[in-house]
Amino acid sequence: MNRLRSVFVALIMLVQLGAEEKLHYTVSFWRIPCVDVAMIRNQTQDKKMKLEFTAKTRPVFDYFFAVDNSYTTWYDNKSFGMEKYSLSANQPNGDIKYELKWDDEKNQYSTSDISYGRPEKSHNIFSLLMRARNFPWGRLDTVWWPVEHEGSSYKGRYLWVDSSDVEVGNDRISADHYRFDLREAEGNEVELTDMQDIFSWGIVLDGAVRQVWIERGGARRILRAEVNVRGITLTAELNSE
Strand partners, 102: 109
Give the pLDDT band of residue 227 (cuts 50, 70, 90).
very high
Residue 67, domain member (yes or no): yes
Q: What is d(CA 49, CA 41) in angstroms, rounded to the nearest whole number?
A: 7
Residue 11, domain member (yes or no): no
Q: Which residues of 120-157 are buried (b: 16+ CB within 10 A; e: fewer)?
A: ebbbbbbbbbbbbbbeebeebeeeebbbbbbbbbbbbb
Give the pLDDT band of residue 3 (cuts 50, 70, 90).
very low
In the prediction, which pLDDT does 45 show?
79
Q: What is d(CA 27, CA 35) in angstroms, rounded to the nearest whole number?
A: 5
In the prediction, which pLDDT does 8 show?
40
DSSP conformational letter for 207: T
Q: What is d(CA 205, CA 116) in angstroms, rounded to the nearest whole number?
A: 23
Query: Could you tell me the CA-to-CA distances from 135 to 95, 103, 122, 138 in Å, in that order?
Result: 36, 27, 18, 8
Over residues 12-40, the mean pLDDT reads 82
Question: Within 10 A of 203 (CB to CB), how many other CB atoms are there?
Answer: 16
Do the bridges between strand 115-117 and strand 108-110 make them parallel or antiparallel, or are there none, so unpaired? antiparallel
Give the pLDDT band of residue 117 (cuts 50, 70, 90).
very high
Residue 14, domain member (yes or no): no
Instruction: Quote the radius of gyration of the chain (alpha carbons, Å).
Output: 18
HEC per residue, 68-125: EEEEEEEECCCCCCEEEEEEEEEECCEEEEEEEEEECCCCEEECCCCEEECCCCCECH
Residue 94 corresponds to which amino acid? G
pLDDT per residue as tens digits for the range 136-165: 999 999 999 999 999 999 999 999 999 999
Residue 6, domain member (yes or no): no
Could you list the residue range(s) of the whole structural domain that residue 43 is in? Answer: 22-238
Residue 58, domain member (yes or no): yes
In the prediction, which pLDDT does 63 show?
87
Residue 15, domain member (yes or no): no
Question: Within 10 A of 49 (CB to CB), how many other CB atoms are there?
Answer: 19
Q: What is d(CA 30, CA 49) in angstroms, rounded to the nearest whole number?
A: 34
Question: Between vectors from CA 159 to CA 20 and to CA 40, what angle results, nearest 5°?
Answer: 15
Q: What is d(CA 56, CA 78) in angstroms, rounded to the nearest whole number?
A: 31
**How many domains, the chain?**
1
In the prediction, which pLDDT does 112 show?
87
- Which has the closest alpha carbon to 171: 221, 233, 227? 221
What is the pTM assigned to this prediction? 0.89
Q: What is d(CA 233, CA 28) in angstroms, rounded to the nearest whole number?
A: 8
- Cβ contact 226:236 at 8 Å: yes
Residue 13, domain member (yes or no): no
- Cβ contact 42:75 at 8 Å: no
Q: Is the pLDDT of residue 234 over 60?
A: yes
Residue 198, domain member (yes or no): yes
